[in-house]
Amino acid sequence: MNGQDFINAMSAVGAGLAMIAGIGPGIGQGYAAGQAAAAVGRNPGAKSDITSTMLLGQAVAETTGLYGFAVAIILMFVKPFK
Amino acid sequence: MGYEIVNAANVLLAAGQKEADFSAHYWAEFELFGQKLYLTSTHISLIIVSLVLIIFALVARSKIKKANAEDTPGMLQNICELMVSTVDNMVKGIMGENGKKFRNWVATVFVFALLCNISGLFGVRPPTADYGVTFAMGVITFCIIHYNGVKKNGGKHFTNLFKPILLSPINIIGEIAVPLSLSLRLFGNVLSGTVMMGLIYGLLSPPITTGIPAVLHIYFDIFSGCIQAYVFCMLTMVYVNDKIAD
């Protein structure tokens, strides 16, 4: 196994580790959805407002996960370490 | 993203039935000012999306021009009126009366992003799955934010960055992060959908590929695409409104 193979293998491991970032958005989006469900239960009339606010908040919460995804994609395919 | 993506896909899915294909290919190669440039699938799908939008706009324009106030509106006119009034209400809800002049930009970017995101349904590679496209959209938003900030507040727009002098690096990074996070959000969502669909199409053998992926297209292309187009416009409006609010 030469040096480049080792770098490729470690890049794949690093990409996998980068996707641990998916935990955070999962928790955050689930919490937002739970709170929105509670809010609809309390005030069913405001359902459309609550839904749009929830979706906006979830999309913003997703950003950190997408940073992890971008790092993983760059490690796997762009191969910055040569 | 580098276009070496092309070969790496084969390594990733050596176990699949055929090669997974979710990468941008290049169709032509030419030189400009000593720089090698490629005509990639992103350009081609962008041209398709733009042509569809332009043709739709021209047809709608001629229909609306001929429309008579007494007639029953046709289907196309109904669709156009629905779209325009939806976007108008959306802008009004976020920006209030100040936002009237931003309706055109928001509607344009919404329709463009929406059509780009769901173009994966029609077999072309979504243009927004290329960072070049979304980053350009983010930079335009950045320019709009700061143009309107300077127009509204003058020099105070810049001195506000240094208000608590200790926090000035954080303020500056926060301003620069706006276009990056806007564009990365759209790009990451659409790219993850494209990658997943590519992997699934690579995994399944031909007779099954007609049924199962359709369900996933609903989530990855239609649902995710609509939400992300909506969120992009929403955040654009929120950021601009931040600068122009009294």
Q: Where are the alpha helices (DSSP H) in A1-82?
A: 3-18, 23-42, 47-61, 63-73
Query: CA of B22: which chain A residue's CA is closest?
Result: A77
DSSP structural state of residue B71 = S
Query: CA of A70: which chain B residue's CA is closest?
Result: B188
Distance CA B79, CA A29 (A): 33
* Residues of chain A positioned with their CB less than 8 A from the CB of B237: none
The mean of the pLDDT values for chain A is 89
CA distance B230 to chain A (A): 9
Q: Say which range, A26-35, A61-70, B75-84, B91-100, has the weakest mean pLDDT.
A: B91-100
Helices A23-42 and A47-61: crossing angle in degrees, nearest 10, is: 170
Distance CA B20, CA B213 (A): 14
The token pair that represents B129 in the structure block: 């799955």
B192 touches chain A (CB under 8 A): yes
Q: Are strands B26-32 and B35-40 parallel, antiparallel or unpaired?
A: antiparallel
State whether A55 and B230 contact (CB < 8 Å): yes
Residue B228 in contact with residue A59, Cβ under 8 Å?
A: yes
Residue B125 in contact with residue B42, Cβ under 8 Å?
A: yes
Q: List, as own/partner pairs, every contact residues B205-210 make where C-beta atoms lie below 8 angstroms and the sequence separation is at least 24, other chains included.
A: B205/B17
State whether A59 and B12 contact (CB < 8 Å): no
The mean of the pLDDT values for chain B is 83
Distance CA B213, CA B65 (A): 42
Rounded mean pLDDT of A26-50? 92
Query: Model confidence at A41, in pLDDT bands (50, 70, 90)?
Result: very high
B244 touches chain A (CB under 8 A): no
State whether A66 and B4 contact (CB < 8 Å): no
